[in-house]
Structure 1
């Protein structure tokens, strides 16, 4: 006679723990992913694109689209010492963050190398939520040492999150019945009743345009999706994936991990990681506040000067400078840097890129050595680069309150 317990053990899926998790929105997204184009992010099955990357990019720029941010890591930091703990961990002054506001931040090792960047939501007097691209629970718990009244809770699977971006995003939310969103300022938080629970709406995003992020209990995720898509039916709402996101964020001048920077705790080669100052993030490093991780090293680097810096480049021609090496002359006699991200921008009508450049070379010419294929044959060209001091593309409506209907 067979043992039922043994039978259950033998018939269980031995790979269950290795399979990609499904987002609370997956059922709806799978039906719309006509190309079945999936990748992975933090153990979740994640859409690279749904139908066509360029089509999805133009949805972001001309109508509105949804981007699943459920795989993004979310942590609750709570208690009387929550603010002090975060203020010691990140480079920005968290004490200035008001309730129902969001701020962008980064955190470093003691040597000033950047571990990750993310956003801090202040949800209450002693409650914060940190979001970031990669798992950070171990570093957060280490950062709690010395603070007796603070707790860190992994919150990723307890909160479904959907980014709604584009010029018709506000019109869609208004049509959904959320009239109060009209007065929501950039980086503000609003809580409203929905489907017998509460929806949190933040005016945040990663595209440089008008946009919001919607946060809700996973049990109500599909109801929120359905209501959102009904409301946005006549406003061009479509889902978009990682590839279109990468296009929009580069135009807006936003950094992407593993493209502009390596996470310090996962980098093997010496100085293949970066500091916030090298990444042109000095504006979120507050030397006026008390001690924070990496302060001494960053202050020393500021005083001694940078040897390399991330720049935004406008490159002549229309051949994308992906993986291009940079030189100080057309003859390629002296290498001065390299491109991290590049694209032909439909919105800007220009060839744009992020690139690390030796600071000693600034003030002279910057040339990109670009290789491209034409009818299966490789071609090489040298393109002159101009430094851009501002994001390549930001629409004024991203800052307007109320944003107006489009």
Structure 2
């Protein structure tokens, strides 16, 4: 029997690690898809402030990336995902998701159309066996290119100015669009996408260009406050934006140990993305039945909570008595000066009337129970006009 030694193997280093390691003086690292990922380089609050006021760099190289090519690429993706891949023109991007046969969500991600029969699917979880099984009967080739492509997120109101200073003219690039640029004897792609809810871009490049690009951007952004950031600041920003995170805001159905933990797109507020007119797709029959029968058991809601104590992980009660939901992400928003949360609530209580949250706040080593009345509020919590303005403002 072969001995298992995977636990002895160190986490991989991304192509940007030689620049990130000296900055991470506190050695604040975490694991992301088998890679070392920085949690914070010093102070998460300062890094978050940079996202909302200047420009930031975040290493997203560990993201899972699949290349899907072939004459049946559109037909295959329309069978696999909820949205209409055929509606994308080359150079466009869409936020999408996919389900199992019971209509329960497996993951969400971004789909890039690179050519007529050339796509890239980026997501949080690994899905190669499912993607390959789903390709039966389609003339497509699917390849995991996660290790072949480095990536950076350049986010913040000054991000377009930094790119312009670096010689990349993205002024005409609209949200969810992508363009290619020459750099260092090769080519990089820049998409107007991101996970902060702010003006921002993602840069996709061969690993050999990673360090030259990092140095080039840091030099170009030196006068504009360009700041490297870690995952803690990004998670705070994504909560303000009301974005979902796989494994935190929902359990992928293929990982759920309990049947009632899986969620449908309707239960996660993603019903809007279902392209019913495109024909059959995996989970369609189950989702049609759920829609027609109004049988969604859960609803995903945005909440505003009194005070400034984060309610992450707290339980929700109807009339202070009956447990009817729970909070998956919460924070005191430095940007909005509001205590906000994303929560799962039983669908019959989705109006959130007479809904209370039970919080245990630590004060000088002792926990105090707080029962606070919550109010439903719209998501995204933070959605500035600058995130869509084209051309973006100059700084």
Is TM-score (shorter-chain normalized) higher than 0.5?
yes
Equivalent residue for 2:69?
78
1:269 aligns with 2:271: no
Equivalent residue for 2:342?
354
Name stretches of at least 5 consecutive residues in structure 2 with no aligned partner.
Answer: none
Larger deviation, residues 368-377 vs 354-363 = 354-363
Equivalent residue for 2:165?
175
Equivalent residue for 1:10?
none
Partner residue of 2:115 out of 120, 124, 139: 124
Alignment of 1:4-403 (within 5 A): 18-147=9-138, 149-179=139-169, 181-305=170-294, 306-329=296-319, 332-363=320-351, 364-403=353-392
CA distance in 2, matches of 1:221, 1:362: 46
Larger deviation, residues 102-111 vs 362-371 = 362-371
RMSD: 1.2
CA distance in 2, matches of 1:153, 1:372: 48
Larger deviation, residues 79-88 vs 304-313 = 304-313
CA distance in 2, matches of 1:100, 1:153: 20
Output one character per residue of 1:45-95: Cα deviation in whole Å (capped at 9) or x when no partner. 111111111111111111111111110011110010011101100011111
CA distance in 2, matches of 1:18, 1:267: 27
Q: How many matched pairs?
A: 389
Output one character per residue of 1:234-278: Cα deviation in whole Å (capped at 9) or x when no partner. 111111111111100010010011111001111111121111110
CA distance in 2, matches of 1:16, 1:314: 42
CA distance in 1, matches of 2:332, 2:210: 35
CA distance in 2, matches of 1:199, 1:139: 29
Secondary structure of 1:288 counterpart: helix
Output one character per residue of 1:365-389: Cα deviation in whole Å (capped at 9) or x when no partner. 1111111011111111111111112
The structural deviation recorded for 1:318 is 1.4
Secondary structure of 1:141 counterpart: helix
Secondary structure of 1:271 counterpart: helix
Name stretches of at least 5 consecutive residues in structure 1 with no aligned partner.
Answer: 1-13
CA distance in 2, matches of 1:312, 1:282: 16
